[in-house]
Structure 1
């Protein structure tokens, strides 16, 4: 893709810019076309051809001798790019320590702009001090040589790591940790008033212990600088933000680097780029349209929260991205510690607007207006009338999964065996029930992405499958409504970890607060009723299970629990009614609970057990 050259440049400035472009093309293995580069200035065609020949003469070829750099012994070439070659060398005056020596080729150094960019890169890295940024040890500028020595990373790049796993599976935790480290490094870059502008997997180096280092600051610039001419694209297309592709440096800020890191994370998690078209112009259209497929399309094992984080980082609209790289790092750390993230998936209206933007070129102006208006009205109707019902349905399914009859069986077993709760958590946790609940929470959040209560409840359930993890519950606030939610979550975590006493204590407190701030909670009523049954307090269990059955009227096993409490409270006629009703309901447990309660009822009535 040829850059758009700004018309205000004079001939000499344009030739200087063109020489940089010619060197980039040659380093990428492309063949520069003089006529295309000269564009609308045919009088420069001859001079452009001379620049191409000069660049071809000075471009290093295979087999060339290693350069001689004062104070260094160059050992071998490590790699090269448009802004120079990198060599492994020994720094003689410091005990021969190994360094990576970046050298600006003599031919490229003929460009004053290239020299300026090279100096900027060295000075930019030297200004930064961060454990995840490569360190500059020395700068050399003498006898026409321009080089600087930096830390030698005896490992591979993230791009190599991705290539090794193509066709296999990624390592989600490792990629998240890399994301945290690089985001923190980028925040340090931005805090120093700089932009990186070329964040991508090949510019993230990995030490042998896995520590990531942000490198290659060849395109770095001051956040308020305008060194790159307007209309001239700088960066790597596949990882560049829409505003960067437009060649508008005045519109770039830290969120452009956040976007590039988002694409990098997507690549490392999906093991493929989000925009995979063959033609560059199609890739540009996809990036500007924000048409990346959801991450889980290619990486279904990735958590939904991680998909949400990556999607926010690489939103086409900078205003909807993370404001800072530090915020991106914070959300990734929340994910790793099983805490609720702050990012929210795009809502229904946002997705509808994005879709309309992507399709606007195919619609006539009048039709587009009418179609969009109709689509928005339909979407609004769906959102107002149907979405709350869908959300509630998924929440009900999630909570019933947590009340799985296996829970009651394990609670009874632990009560009589006096087994420590940690042992039960490690041995008898019904992971399929937990996974089923999480799937329904995720579905609810897709329809109601800004519901913090659902997100917090999901985090508690997720943490229960890893009991060693710290609780994601924050310190209890003072507001009564928020405090009630906090106490409810504490009881839920205790319930899922079979800590009966703690669950009863928390939910008893919640009931006293609940009367003040919200409607009855059938899930807590069901779980607390079950706990009281296990603890042999049927009089306390009975009213709570009655509330639970009113809230979940079509669940067989809850109706059986209610009948059990009725038998123990000697309300035998109510026990009969509930047992008759339970026989016709779905969701009976597989532990013969119905038969057991029937036998207890017959015994309470003094009748013999049925044969």
Structure 2
């Protein structure tokens, strides 16, 4: 293998490195493509050469791979393979194409993230943390950079590089290591517990709902003092739209004393959700459409889910959900959403049109044509349905019929 900064184009295991994703203190992360299954894209973490001389560092690096293998969970970054190439340890994990929580925070800055998107991500990461805690494993380095989003938009907990196994049920002495912005007060004193991870998750929650950290300081010593002694500004003073129960849950999880926090992460997550929806299903639908128009597709999906929680038989929400999934290239989910809308309302022309679009993208042109024709039967004024019909006919080699469909779309 090559130098740390020259892996691009090289082969590691069965994968060819195509680009660098991130470069941390102990290792680099690269995007790789399988040399035979060329549509299989992965992320590959490689230990920096500077640490190869230390057996302890090599063991610690491979320990992360072992933890990922042990902690299989829908919201923990899955591991595919591990090995040693030219004496350099590496492991292969799922590639998360939708970036990190840090990316999403930057995208929304200076505004906070939508509450529903925040709660969805926190719930998923909370479930992942709880699973790790059940194995007495403490992550120790929760931060937005270590929360990734997969192709489905789900949040995945990543980077167990400094995770530790609790030696006692309550607390364990450890080296002082972590990310000071998100470290619990006791962590600065070299003590950790499951509630230390809860505190870090609350710091992340605070940042998501306010677009700022609970504490800022010029150095780690000053940061430690703030975490230990200073009260954070109430989130609702920054984000007046934040429901008070969400604020109370975050502030309790940010308590200085471990015993004042929630007994476990699931209890914290449950407290975040203890507020009634003040919006109607129609308002959630409208909010989702606004988010969709501004290309915030994942947030739009969350809004549609809230509408469906109020009314599980809301055909309009399923139709809109199909549009959002289509924009995210989640075609099978989109198809299921459109078909559910049609099942609830067999006269739903737009849902047939959406179904046609998905089938067209899946290159199922004959089925797409049938869907477009049904949409036109229900709404003969839809130029989009005629245009879709023309596209399907073109790929079915029915050129004259395609021309007629396109001409009708132009007329409309």
TM bracket (short chain)? 0.5 to 0.7
Matched, 1:145 2:145: no
Cα deviation for residue 60 of structure 1 reads: 3.9
Whole-angstrom CA distance in 2 between matches of 1:179 and 1:110:
39
Which of the residues 223, 229, 237 maps onto 1:283? 223
Whole-angstrom CA distance in 1 between matches of 2:238 and 2:47:
40
Q: 1:183 to 1:97 in 2, by over 3 A?
A: same
The equivalent of 1:418 in structure 2 is: none
Matched, 1:114 2:54: no
Comparing both structures, which one devotes a greater share of its residues to strand?
Answer: 2
Which of the residues 170, 174, 177 maps onto 2:117? 174
Cα-to-partner distance string for 1:514-558 (whole Å, 9 max, x where unaligned): xxxxxxxxxxxxxxxxxxxxxxxxxxxxxxxxxxxxxxxxxxxxx
Cα deviation for residue 89 of structure 1 reads: 0.5
Matched, 1:332 2:272: yes
Q: Secondary structure at the match of 1:107?
A: helix
Q: Is the 8 A contact 1:125 1:135 kept in 2?
A: yes
Q: Is the 8 A contact 1:180 1:333 kept in 2?
A: no
Cα-to-partner distance string for 1:47-80 (whole Å, 9 max, x where unaligned): xxxxxxxxxxx9845x675554132111111111
The equivalent of 1:319 in structure 2 is: 259
The equivalent of 1:183 in structure 2 is: 126
Cα deviation for residue 255 of structure 1 reads: 0.6
Q: 1:291 to 1:332 in 2, by over 3 A?
A: closer
Q: Secondary structure at the match of 2:90?
A: strand
Cα-to-partner distance string for 1:536-590 (whole Å, 9 max, x where unaligned): xxxxxxxxxxxxxxxxxxxxxxxxxxxxxxxxxxxxxxxxxxxxxxxxxxxxxxx
Q: Which has the larger radius of gyration?
A: 1
Which of the residues 237, 242, 248 maps onto 2:180? 237
Cα deviation for residue 244 of structure 1 reads: 0.9
Q: 1:329 to 1:93 in 2, by over 3 A?
A: farther
Cα deviation for residue 334 of structure 1 reads: 3.2
Whole-angstrom CA distance in 2 between matches of 1:124 and 1:231:
18
The equivalent of 1:586 in structure 2 is: none
Q: Is the 8 A contact 1:175 1:265 kept in 2?
A: yes
Q: Is the 8 A contact 1:106 1:144 kept in 2?
A: no
Q: Secondary structure at the match of 1:77?
A: strand
Cα deviation for residue 183 of structure 1 reads: 0.5
Q: Secondary structure at the match of 2:12?
A: coil
Whole-angstrom CA distance in 1 between matches of 2:209 and 2:282:
29
Matched, 1:217 2:157: no
Matched, 1:299 2:219: no
Q: TM-score, normalised by structure 2?
A: 0.63
Cα-to-partner distance string for 1:206-265 (whole Å, 9 max, x where unaligned): 23543111111111111228xxx96731110010001111123xxx22111111000000
The equivalent of 2:73 in structure 1 is: 130
The equivalent of 1:97 in structure 2 is: 40
Equivalent residue runs for 1:486-525 within 5 Å: none
Whole-angstrom CA distance in 2 between matches of 1:141 and 1:77:
19
Whole-angstrom CA distance in 1 between matches of 2:282 and 2:32:
53
**Alpha carbon RMSD of aligned pairs, Å?**
2.9
The equivalent of 1:561 in structure 2 is: none
The equivalent of 1:310 in structure 2 is: 250
Higher RCO, Cα 8 Å, sep 6+: 2
Equivalent residue runs for 1:154-165 within 5 Å: 154-165=97-108
Segments of 4+ moved more than 6 angstroms: none
Whole-angstrom CA distance in 2 between matches of 1:167 and 1:294:
17
Cα-to-partner distance string for 1:373-397 (whole Å, 9 max, x where unaligned): xxxxxxxxxxxxxxxxxxxxxxxxx
Which of the residues 181, 186, 202 maps onto 2:145? 202
Q: Is the 8 A contact 1:73 1:89 kept in 2?
A: yes
Cα deviation for residue 126 of structure 1 reads: 0.8
Whole-angstrom CA distance in 1 between matches of 2:59 and 2:215:
33
Q: 1:138 to 1:469 in 2, by over 3 A?
A: same
Equivalent residue runs for 1:39-54 within 5 Å: none
Cα-to-partner distance string for 1:108-164 (whole Å, 9 max, x where unaligned): 222222212211111101111211111000011243110000000111111111112
Which of the residues 184, 208, 221 maps onto 1:268? 208
Q: Is the 8 A contact 2:8 2:20 kept in 1?
A: no
Q: Secondary structure at the match of 2:274?
A: helix
Instruction: State how many pairs are aligned.
Output: 283
Cα-to-partner distance string for 1:349-380 (whole Å, 9 max, x where unaligned): xxxxxxxxxxxxxxxxxxxxxxxxxxxxxxxx
Comparing both structures, which one devotes a greater share of its residues to helix?
Answer: 1
